[in-house]
Structure 1
């Protein structure tokens, strides 16, 4: 996620489980400081919210053997990955958040610089996860650190991630998103997910995620598919943040002088999207 969350005293024990050894560490690419980062909210430290109805829309259905190939996605050019620092968070309803994101095939110094800058803006905006489209770059790249503190935990870089399989067990959790400042609401997602991806040097690996890392990954992966976290909310939950979403639409119009590219008041309910947005 370019997600936010209240971690408070969230108990986070295994961060990642990998087929062999540990996930590739990327901390050597980054400077260290004491900036803090937050993404999601642990239900252990707040009153339990009412559970959504059994028909919560846009549930991901458990599916085995989901393709890890990405051959149907356009390849990013050097121009697609070019950026100017400092990066800025793209807020809803900017159409960048709904655009298609290209596959990365060039694992060069510019990609390393982009990763560095993404971690920097993530920490500075109190995030624990961030996807490239959230900083205006439509490529398949995400970074996250479930601990949310620079110099603590493990900084993870996933390039061209794909989903292998995910659990039937679904978990309710209070999510936030850097592209939706100040907005938090409950989202139901699979408890565990198995993925494959490439690291910052282009090496492919497979990893199984659970608990908070699985939640962060799914939120950020949705961004790479052009899916926003309110797309996965029940009608009841969505109604609770409708006013805030309308305020962001108005803010966009006042800032750009353009009509909002989407409006929550006229939004059609999206059907369940198998494979995290892949039909």
Structure 2
């Protein structure tokens, strides 16, 4: 992918968001450029995490910075081909948002901790024990790689509360077809 290719957010209800992302097999400059571009989109849109399908890329790749601050690059985490090998702790409810669902929030139940096996942008193996907010972000972004969306995790009450905003996204999507 060229470094100057501009990525745009893919919004609900695009069917692309429902695809299971395939494994990344090539670790090269193109992948590094993709990561740079994804981080830019994440920061530009005020996010703390972004999965490749959210910018129309069919890759098992996600970028995270739990601070959401582009100046704090030490907080950046790039996970290629991530999988959760275990989930631990109590399930807790916390409000989540999603860049593919602008201005929509829902209470989502997730385990407090998880273990993730992945690769970095060079292909080196990573094994991470994650807790707290970072664990929640990774679990949310990994959902995207499996075609699972925020709306799938919403309670009936959250769906009702967000009904108008969800319908607006559907209507906007249909107008673009």
The answer on 1:188 being equivalent to 2:94 is no
Q: Does the 8 A contact of 1:97 with 1:223 survive in 2?
A: yes
Q: Does the 8 A contact of 1:165 with 1:193 survive in 2?
A: yes
Q: Which one has a bigger Cα radius of gyration?
A: 1
Unaligned runs of 5+ in 2: none
Counterpart of 2:58 in structure 1 is: 138
SS in structure 1 opposite 2:140? Answer: helix
Counterpart of 1:246 in structure 2 is: 167
Greater strand percent: which structure? Answer: 2
* Change in 2 beyond 3 A, CA 1:211/1:129: same
Alpha-carbon RMSD across the aligned residues, in angstroms, is: 1.4
The answer on 1:179 being equivalent to 2:112 is no
TM-score, normalised via structure 1 length: 0.61
| Shift of residue 112, structure 1, vs aligned partner | 0.3
The answer on 1:92 being equivalent to 2:12 is yes
Q: Does the 8 A contact of 1:171 with 1:189 survive in 2?
A: yes
Count residues with an aligned counterpart: 176
Counterpart of 2:137 in structure 1 is: 216
| Shift of residue 151, structure 1, vs aligned partner | 2.2
Q: Does the 8 A contact of 1:188 with 1:233 survive in 2?
A: no
Which of 161, 166, 177 in structure 1 is aligned with 2:87? 166
Runs ≥4 residues deviating over 2 A: 81-84
TM-score, normalised via structure 2 length: 0.95
The answer on 1:234 being equivalent to 2:151 is no
The answer on 1:107 being equivalent to 2:30 is no
Unaligned runs of 5+ in 1: 1-80, 257-279
CA distance in structure 2 between the partners assigned to 1:238 and 1:215 by the alignment: 20
Greater helix percent: which structure? Answer: 2
